[in-house]
Every structure is written in C-alpha cells, then in structure tokens.
Amino acid sequence: MSRLLGVIDAATSVKGLQDLSLNRSVASIPFAGRYRFIDFILSNMVNSGVESVAIFPRHQYRSLMDHIGSGKNWDLDRKRDGLFFFPPYFEPNENSNVGSFDRLEQHLDFFERSHQDYILIANSYTIASIDLNEALAEHLIQDNDITEITTSSRSLEMYILKKSLLIELIQNRKNSQFISISDVATQPLHHYKIGGYEHHGYAAVMDSIDAYFKHSMDLLDHSIWSQLFSTDRPVFTKVKDEPPTRYSAESVVTNSMVANGGIIHGRVDSSIVSRAVKIGNHSVVKNCIVMQKSQIGENCHLEYVILDKDVRIQDGVTLKGTSDKPLVLRKGAVREMAVSK
Amino acid sequence: MVKKKCVAMLLAGGQGSRLHSLTTNIAKPAVPFGGKYRIIDFTLSNCTNSGIDTVGVLTQYQPLVLNTYIGIGSAWDLDRRNGGVTVLPPYTESTGVKWYTGTANAIYQNMNYLEQYNPEYVLILSGDHIYKMDYSKMLDYHIQNEADATISVVEVPWDEASRFGIMNTNSELEILEFDEKPKNPKNNLASMGIYIFNWSQLKKYLDVDNINTESTHDFGKDLIPLFLKENKRLIAYPFQGYWKDVGTVKSLWEANMDLLEDNPGLNLFDHSWRIYSRNPNQPPQYLSVQAVVKESLINEGCYIEGTVHHSVIFQGVEIKEGASLHQAVVLPDAVIGKNATVERAIIPEGIIIPDGITIKPEEGSDEIILVTNEMIEQLRKDVTA
C-alpha cells in the first residue's frame, strides 16, 4: 500500500495560457493529440502506486470534471481511497502558486482522515514521466522536511512532505505568513530542511503559449516521445471510441503525430493532430497544433497556428503565425476567406 | 428481477477453423477487424445502440481472450445493475459436464439465465458477422407482424445463394421453407443467423427439440423446421446494408479492404452509431519524415517510417524505414522490418517481419497470405542460403 497521498493543485492560474484557458481550467488544456495536461501527473501517481488522489480545482471546473468523471480511466474508482474532487467553498483572496494553504485548509479534515503519512503535492501542468516512489525514497534518505522535484535545477512544482507537517503548516499559516507549499520551499528564512530530487528524464512546465508550442513540437522527437509514452508507464486519459484515422489517396503526412478518428486528405507536416480532425483536399498544414474535432476545408494553407477545439477553417483560407509567435484560434472560432473585390 | 422486454443471446462459441492460425488460441468472435475492433464489437455495439441492455454471451471454444475482452461489459456500456452482459460458458451439472452440442442446445442449457428476466422476446445473435443493424426496428417489425419468429435475411447474389441458408418466402415475406445450402436455390434471401422469438414459444419448442434424439439441436437445421412443421408464423425481416461473414482468411481480408473504399458500405465514422471496443489507450500514431501513407486506416500507437498503401494497420504496429506495405492487414503490435515488402497479406498479432524479407502472392494469383512464424523462418533461411 502506497504511503503517498496525491494532491493536484489544479487551481493555480497561468496567465500566459489565457487563450487556451478561457473556457476551461489549465488542467484540462488539450495536449499531445489526445490528452489533457492533468493526465500526466495523474498517470504518474497511478503508475507509482498512489491509491488516493485529491484534486483541488478553481472556478470553471466543468471541463475538468467532465474529463475526470469517476476516475475510472485512471483506475481510481475505488471503494477504499480513489479519487476526490474538492471545489473551493470560497476562492482564496491571494493568487498563490502551488499548494495554497487557504485552499487546502478548506478540506483539512480530508488530510486528517487519510491513512497515508506522506503527501505529494503537484501542479496540473507539468508534463513528465516520473517515478514518484524514487522521489519519496530520496526524500526519506535526505531526511528532508520538504523535497522539491526539479529538472536541471528548475522546479517542476511538485513537493513531497509529511502529512503531519502539511497540517502544521496550514494551521500555523497566520503566524508564519507562509501562503503555500511553494512559498515555504522558496523562502530562505525558516528552520525547515528543503531538499531536491532531480528528475533526469524529459520534463516540461506549460506556463505560456510559447512553452506550449515548443513542447508540443518536442513530441515529434522520437526519444522524447518514447520517454513520455513508455509502455510500462502509460499515460491514461478519458477514452473516446473513435475509429482509426483514415488517410486518402492524396494525403501526404510527414513528421507528425496524429490521433484517432481523423480523416486526412491534404498535406500535413511537423504538426500535432488531435482526435476526429478533418483536413480537406489540397490543404497544407505545417507546424500546427490542431485540437479535437477541428475542421480544415479545401485549399487552405496554415503555418504556425494553434487551433483549439471545434475550430472551422473554410475553404481557401491562409493563416500564418511564426515560430516565435504562433497564431491561436480560440475554441469554436470560424475563419472564412476574406472577400476581395 | 425486473422483467425485460427483450434479452439478447449472442452465440460466440464458434471456432472459425477456416481462419487457420488466427483462431488457434482465440474464438472467431475475438478475431481482430478494422484496425481496432474485434468481430464481436459489432454485435455488442448494435445491442447497445439498439437499446438492448441485457446480453448473454455463450462461449465455448477458447474462451480466455473473449472472456477477458468482454469483462464486465463496460466498453459497450453493458455494465448494468440489472442486466448487462453475462458470459455463459458450458457448465457442470450433477449428471456431468454438458458441452453445447448445437446453437439451440446452447440456449436450452441457459434457460435459467433467460428465466431470471422472463423476457417477452428473445433475440438470437451470432458473434461472427460484421454489420450495423438496429435490432429495435426488427423487434417492432416482429411485433407488428404478430410473428412467432422473425428471421433477418439479406439478399445475396444468386450464384452465391447455394453457400447460405436460404429462406423461401411468399410475397408477404412469410417463410414457407428453409433450405440449408440448396444446390438449386429457389430464392436469394439468406438467413443472417439473427432470430427474434416470443420467449414462451421458444421455451416450448426448445423442450420439444431437446428430447428429439434425431435432432442436431441447431436453430437453422432443427428449430426453424420444427416451427414450420407446427404451422407457426415465421416472417423474414429484410435487411439492407453491409453484412459480411468473415469466416475465411480471404473474406476477412476483403472486409478490411472494403473499409478503404471511397464511400465504404460500413461507415466507422458515424457518431450516431459508434462501434465501441475496448480501447488500448496508446498515444497517437507517429508518421516520420520518410513516411508515405495513402488510402489506409491507421490506429493509435503506431510508429511509421515506411510506405503504407491501401492497408489497415492496428494499434502499436511499427513499420520501419524502407518497408513497404500494399493491401495488407497488420494486426496489433506487429513489426515490419527495414526494407521488407508485404503485399496482399494478413500479419497476425505481434509477428516480426525481419529486415529485407518479401512476402507476396505469386504474380497473377488471387491468394491472400496469412503470415506465420514458420513461413518467416523459411523465408529467412532462403535469404541466408
């Protein structure tokens, strides 16, 4: 039985991702063709044997709840332990980073009741495949109060600490003036022993559109792809019953990642194509991220564009962003060809 | 138990011996089809999409894969508190083990299961066919016609009619006669092996059939003739649409190729009639810089560096650089080595085609190759010799 209780703070807002999080929480931003950000940390927890996971969302958690459901897809629909969803009774005033004490305090009884003696608290938007047991072992060996998981000394916003310490920090927060776990981990002046666990594999923190675009394109590198999607540490997600993707006689698809249910007629190069996407005849899609159910008509030309879900590009439209500044089309957007006189 | 209007009994014990090595370890309904499905997915999805929530699946031959695959039925939304899917294998009684000796006998031995729900109607299905059908429409038809039994039929080409069980009907579609594989067919309406019975009637005649020592206890050969002899009202329900028995390597291959047509008879992309299956949960497919993929269906988890023409590729397949596939069906987790060539073939699950090997039928032959490990061993020897 795992000693770790998993806590996902899905409430931290990420300003840089606003275009993609207007109608959804950051945790449920689509990524890698068929996943949502939160799938990666959830799968890390499940693959590390964590049996109890608490998710703390902020407002606009409908898309997140719809995605997570009973937790069945992560094997977390359990009689004992399993998945817990803790919407706030009220939104804490300060906009803190990971592990807001005001937020956790609202469900303090859950922590007191849980039988696990260690807690892993993480953000929802770090993409990596990490064995959390190794991190816990390191925490115990170093005899830290708080262990921060890092990669190349950069914080992945994941922390391990004793449950009793978390409860103590929450209860003393008025005296200590610490507002969150990450606050404690970064402040120098206290007697807690803060240590690090270095994750040597691939890791990406999705804190801006730039990072989102860059790390999406990272997936086209096979060594990164195989690190994130190894067969013994699968990434679980909500399954959709889409058929295999259909390629027509005209399709030319290279250096791309394509999810199921697609119907591809045109040219696709160096792009990420999600589930149930349609790409019409003689269209070119290059260096793009196309999310679920978006439709691209015929004779279109798209470069460096991020298409959110359900975007429709009518026949003949040309749209170009740049590698530094990809164009983002919001969910449900429709683009028609400019009528020239 | 709450009474059910209609309970489906799905016969899934078929060995499918003409599929050779594909069914050495699995029953025919568990054979993979269409890039991500197993044959039985079509019947189970039809049940769910038709609003039938109670399905008994009768297994016998090599049931392990099938049992594991069906599980508690959640993939088809058949994990229900009252009803849902129940796997019904043969069982031991105080008088000894009783194998299912025929399709009717399989139902006879599971009367207890049906009695629990005391349904008005029983829908008998076979797990061997690929088709999409709304059984609720057939049930309405059965009720409107006040039939004792309704049999779903499909028009087959006259020159092929002698391969099927043919229903001879009058203009009202009342069945007058059943001809099993007739030499000189009088009609071209073939039975699809889909029957709806009034449960009270079926129960009665299953009892009669059971004590008949001459009977082979088969629906087509024994039960239907018995109903006809007793002047029961049997009605044919004409089905229009794609229907295929994938009983041979060739027909299985053809049915896969049918999916690649411009407007396939069987549309897998219809969201209003989804075909459900157990999802393998693999990452999206990756097509490399060298990949060339045309007229093909490709599933999750594939890694493609070679050329794929007019083929159906299941999940987790790896196609290496320089490899070339044409009119191939590649089952899950197979690997096609560098510069290997495969044409008009089915490659079973997990098979590894070594680098540089060529597998294709002889020029002008219409044969379809079912690749085996022995074949690969031989080809490898030929190459090194």
Query: Among A60-64, A223-227, B104-108, B275-279, which is the least confidently predicted range?
Result: A60-64
Other CB atoms within 10 A of residue B333 CB: 19
Which residues of B contribute to the annotated binding site for alpha-D-glucose 1-phosphate?
A: 100, 165, 180-181, 191
Mean pLDDT for the stretch of residues A161-170: 97
Rounded Cα distance between B141 and B129, Å, is: 22
Segment A229-252 mean pLDDT? 95
Mutate to test the interface with A, among B38, B79, B286 (most CBs of A within 10 A): B286
User: Helix H segments across chain B?
Assistant: 39-49, 63-70, 103-108, 111-117, 135-144, 199-211, 224-229, 249-258, 373-384
Lowest mean pLDDT among A114-123, A300-309, B7-16: B7-16
For residues A270 and B15, the model is more confident at A270
Cα three-residue angle B183-B188-B190, rounded to 5 degrees: 90
CA distance A78 to chain B (A): 16
Q: B345 pairs with which residues across the strands?
A: B328, B369
- Considering only CB atoms, which chain B residues are within 8 Å of A244? 34-36, 268, 297-300, 312-314
DSSP at B117: H
What is each CA distance from B381 to A166, B337, B359, B374, B385, in whole angstroms? 66, 16, 14, 11, 6
Query: Nearest CA to CA, how far is B89 from chain A (Å)?
Result: 28
Q: What is the mean pLDDT of chain A?
A: 95
Q: Is the pLDDT of residue A13 over 90?
A: no
Q: Give this complex's ipTM.
A: 0.93
Structural domains present in chain B: 6-258 (3.90.550.10), 286-384 (2.160.10.10)
Q: What is the pLDDT of residue B341?
A: 98
Residue stretches of chain B with pLDDT short of 70: 1
Q: d(Cα B282, Cα B285) in Å, to the nearest integer?
A: 9
**Cβ contact, residue pair A241, B277, below 8 Å:** yes
Neighbours of A20 (CB within 10 A): 25
Architecture category of domain A4-229 in CATH: Alpha-Beta Complex (3.90)
Asked if B296 and A263 come within 8 Å (Cβ–Cβ), the reply is: no
Facing A260 at nearest CB: one of B286, B290, B299? B299
Cβ neighbours of residue B123 closer than 8 Å, sequence gap 6 or more: B6, B7, B8, B9, B52, B135, B138, B139, B194, B195, B196
The answer to whether the beta carbons of residues B142 and B121 sit under 8 Å apart is: yes
What pLDDT sits at residue A340? Answer: 55
Residue keyed to tokens 């958690």: A61
Contact criterion met (CB < 8 Å) for B34 and A259: no
Distance from the A122 Cα atom to the nearest Cα atom in chain B, whole angstroms: 23
| Largest distance between two CA atoms of chain A | 73
Using an 8 Å CB-CB cutoff, list chain B residues near A33.
283-284
pLDDT at B92: 83
Q: Does A235 touch chain B (CB under 8 A)?
A: yes
The answer to whether the beta carbons of residues A86 and A56 sit under 8 Å apart is yes
Place domain A246-335 in its CATH homologous superfamily.
Answer: Hexapeptide repeat proteins (2.160.10.10)
**Chain A residues whose beta carbon lies within 8 Å of the beta carbon of residue B36:** 243-244, 260
Whether B297 and A235 lie within 8 Å, measured CB to CB = no
Alpha carbons B78 and B318: distance in angstroms, whole number: 33
Distance between CA atoms of residues B384 and A242, nearest Å = 43
B276 to chain A: nearest residue by CA?
A241
Contact A98/A9 with Cβ under 8 angstroms? yes
Confidence label for A339 from pLDDT (cuts 50, 70 and 90) = low
Contacts of A249 in chain B (CB under 8 A): 294-295
Residues of chain B with C-beta less than 8 angstroms from the C-beta of A254: 287-291
Whether the CB-CB separation of A311 and A332 falls below 8 Å is answered with yes
Residues of chain B above pLDDT 90, percent: 89
Q: What is the pLDDT of residue A341?
A: 47
Which residue of B36, B281, B288 is in closest CB contact with A244?
B36
Three-state secondary-structure class, residue A38: helix
Distances in Å between the Cα of B274 and the Cα atoms of A328, B124, B244, B258, B277 are 31, 22, 18, 18, 10
Binding-site residues of B:
100, 165, 180-181, 191
The sign of the CA dihedral B286, A40, A29, B268 is positive
Q: What are phi and psi of A15, to 5 degrees?
A: -60, -40
Task: Identify the band that residue A39 occupies on the pLDDT scale cut at 50, 70 and 90.
Answer: very high
CB-CB under 8 Å, B294 with A247: yes
d(CA A156, CA A132): 13
A27 has pLDDT over 90: yes
Q: How far apart are CA B239 and CA B156, in angstroms?
A: 11
Q: Where are the domains of chain A?
A: 4-229, 246-335
| Per-residue pLDDT tens over the stretch B84-100 | 999 999 988 888 878 89
Mean pLDDT, rounded, for A138-157: 96
- Other Cβ atoms less than 10 A from the Cβ of B376: the count is 17
Phi, psi of B384 (to 5 degrees): -75, -20
Residue ranges of E strands in B181-313? 189-198, 234-238, 243-245, 285-287, 292-294, 296-298, 303-304, 307-309, 312-313
Q: C-alpha dihedral over A306, A311, A317, A318, to 10 degrees?
A: 0
Q: Flag whether residue A254 sits within 8 Å of chain B, measured between CB atoms.
A: yes
pLDDT of the residue at A87: 93
Which residue, B136, B176, B182, B121, is CA-closest to B156?
B182
Three-state secondary structure call for residue B131: strand
Can you give the pLDDT at residue B371? 97
Using an 8 Å CB-CB cutoff, list chain A residues near B74.
72
Alpha helix positions (H), chain A: 37-47, 62-68, 101-105, 108-113, 132-142, 163-171, 173-176, 181-186, 209-218, 222-228
Q: Which amino acid is at A309?
A: K
CB-CB under 8 Å, B275 with A244: no
A265 touches chain B (CB under 8 A): no
CA distances from A330 to A19, A113, A208, A311, B363 (A): 6, 42, 15, 7, 54
* One-character DSSP codes across A280-307: -TT-EEES-EE-TT-EE-SS-EEESEEE
SS3 state of residue B279: coil
- Chain A: residue whose CA lies nearest to B288: A255
Q: Hey, are the CB atoms on B35 and A244 less than 8 Å from each other?
A: yes
